[in-house]
Amino acid sequence: MAHLIRSTANALMIGIVAAAGTMSTQALAASQGTPGATSTGSVNINASVPNRVRISGLTDISLLNQDPTVEAQSAQDVCVWSNTATRGYSITATGSGSGNAFTLAGGGGTVPYSVEWSGSIGQTSGTALTSSSPETGLTSTATQQLCNAGPSASASLIIKISSTDLSTMQAATTYTGTLTLLVTPE
């Protein structure tokens, strides 16, 4: 049985959604030149940059041939960028299970997994996320949208399946699901 469970293949895919706000602009008055040996005019310019965030660097997760006696875990560094003054953001995770639950489906059943988030890289544990509930007060160190300059990543995404839940999975069965991460500027 243990051998059969170890051969179970699990795949977890991740989707991305980012949100951004808008800001207003302001009107001024241009000055016209007068006739003369030279003539000077001026134009006022204004623009606004809305709050923006971006999540990138995500990779699909495959937890294959897991030993059910040992918790399965996958951690990856991702890039979350925010252009607000504090570089702040919140993250809301939703799963593809019933009611957006963090579950994988396969073999006519489901298996739950947990999602953790850390605002720093290289982590194997973080704050446990609750489906559809934003985790607020996070701050990014990213200086570029895709982390292609400055820090190469700014957060850690950790997925875990407990030993107890692994033991409920059918052997030789693929379990799949999608985790969607919504980042919102703060």
Partner 1 sequence: MARAKFSIICVLILVCSAFVFSSAVAARDRVRISGLQDIQFGSLGTGGDALEARSVCAFSSTNLAGYTITAFGSGLLGAFEMNGSGSTIPIDVFWSDRANQTSGTLLSPNSQSQAFYSDAIHQRCNRGPSSTASLILRIRENAIQSAPAGLYSGTINLIVAPL
Return the SS3 of 2.
Answer: helix
| Nearer Cβ to partner 1 (25/98) | 25
Taking the CA atoms of the chain, what radius of gyration do you get in angstroms?
24
| Nearer Cβ to partner 1 (21/137) | 21
| Nearer Cβ to partner 1 (24/98) | 24
As a whole number of angstroms, the distance between CA 153 and CA 173 comes to: 34
Minimum CB–partner distance for residue 128 and partner 1 (Å): 30
The gap from C-alpha 112 to its chain's centroid, in whole angstroms, comes to: 19
| Nearer Cβ to partner 1 (39/98) | 39
Minimum CB–partner distance for residue 21 and partner 1 (Å): 8
Minimum CB–partner distance for residue 55 and partner 1 (Å): 15
Phi, psi of 149 (to 5 degrees): -145, 155
* Contacting positions for partner 1 (CB under 8 A): 22-52, 83-85, 144-145, 185
Per the rule left: phi > 0, alpha: psi between -120 and 50, beta: everything else, 67 is beta
| Nearer Cβ to partner 1 (64/149) | 149
If we measure between CA atoms, which residue out of 42, 25, 23 comes closest to residue 33? Answer: 42
Minimum CB–partner distance for residue 184 and partner 1 (Å): 13
As a whole number of angstroms, the distance between CA 146 and CA 55 comes to: 8
Minimum CB–partner distance for residue 141 and partner 1 (Å): 15
